[in-house]
Structures are given as structure tokens and as C-alpha cells.
Amino acid sequence: MEQARFNMIEQQIRPWDVPDAEVLSLLSAVKRERFVPAGRQALAFMDMEIPLGYGATMWQPKLEARVLHELQIQKNERVLEVGTGSGYLTALLSRLAAQVTSVEFVPELSAQAAHNLAAFDFDNIQLEVGDAAKSWGTSKYDAIVLTGSVPVEPKAYLQQLNLGGRLFAIVGDAPAMQAKVFTRLANDVFESVTLFETNVAPLQNAPQPQRFVF
């Protein structure tokens, strides 16, 4: 198991522009195999998405690591995760941040994530169940992660960033989606950096743009 974890880090993650020693150490410390569905532990370190049921999947390990590297979360920061899934990314985020709020649309997935996280000493995670496709509450955050893709820039979530806050989102329609990081530079000034192309399942109930119909 440890050899498979080492190979995942050295062969998948480090070559994918993730040189961050803190992130790489975190991937060794938080045991990914404890967050995959029962009977699928053999898939935990493979370069693939893992089905969780209810239309949800666990991201590829290198995508999870790249998000952590790009967001550069600090120990005093508050993070919002939209789409809890298995709780693995939630666990990773909580090791970097002061507080993590994670919202899941499917109650059964949130319950399973709570079960997965209960085996660890995470005292800075708040799990919520609800529809966070457009926004979540009125609080502002230093970092926000959308684990499902959205067809257009998530403007409501941009407004929930503190100054200097970062939002990771995968924007576009399949198969041409772009992973982006948005940074709030001033009240109405945002910087957008496109990182790479990818293709992940859409965020449930994500707002749709008007589309031309013949």
C-alpha cells in the first residue's frame, strides 16, 4: 500500500506541476484508501476517477493535489468546498486551513463523508447538506473549491471571496472544459488564470447560460 502511495506521488503528482513539499507530505499523511468506496481500495492510487454513486466521482489524485498547490491555502484561512463527495479533498483542505465548510447536495454522500472523516482527528470541518449550485450563505471565504464543473464563470461565488481570496472552478461544457483560478484583487477586480483543460462531471443544478436553439 505504501509503495503504491509513493508511486502515485512520484509518477502522477510530482510531474504534474506539483512540487510543493507541504502538499506532497500531506498526500502521504492523509490515507486516500480510507475514503474510497468499500471494495475499491485497489483503485485508490490509480490515475482515474472513482465512482461514488449518485452520479458523483472522486477526482484523480493529481487533480486534487494540483488544486491544493494552486490555491496556496494558509493556516489562518477559511475555505468553502462545494461538493463533499467522499470527504477526501475536505480532509486535505482542513490540514491546510483554519476552517473548512463543505456542502454536499446528496445527503447519503454527506453521511458517508462524515463516516470517513470520523476516523481522523479533524476538528475544523463543518459538513452541510444543501443545494450550493449558485452560492452558499452570506459568509465570505479566503478560498473556494467547486468540485463539479460549471458552464459559465460562477459570479455569485466570486462575490463570496475575501480580498485576496481564490476560487478554483472548472468552467465550460464537455469535452472542452478549462480549470481556472480566480483571485479577487479589489472589490470589483478579479484576475483569472487558466491552468489546464480537463473534463469532470457538472455541478448539480449549476446555473445554465441561455443557449441558442434552432
Q: What is the DSSP string of 82-114?
A: E--TTSHHHHHHHHHSSEEEEEESSHHHHHHHH
Q: CA angle 73-79-84, nearest 5°?
A: 115
Q: Is the pTM of this model over 0.75?
A: yes
In tens digits, what is the pLDDT along the chain, a chain of 214 residues? Answer: 899 999 999 999 999 999 999 999 999 999 999 999 988 888 999 999 999 999 999 999 999 999 999 999 999 999 999 999 999 999 999 999 999 999 999 999 999 999 999 988 889 999 999 999 989 999 999 999 999 999 999 999 999 999 999 999 999 998 889 999 999 999 999 999 999 999 999 998 887 777 655 5
Q: CA angle 89-111-121, nearest 5°?
A: 55
State residue 214's pLDDT score. Answer: 58
Topology of domain 2-198, per CATH?
Rossmann fold (3.40.50)
State residue 211's pLDDT score. Answer: 64
* b/e sequence 72-102, b meaning 16+ C-beta within 10 Å: ebeeebbbbbbbbbbbbbbbbbbbbbebbbb
Gyration radius of the chain's alpha carbons: 16
State residue 212's pLDDT score. Answer: 57
Q: How many CB atoms lie within 10 A of CB 35?
A: 26
Listed by start position, the domains of the chain span 2-198
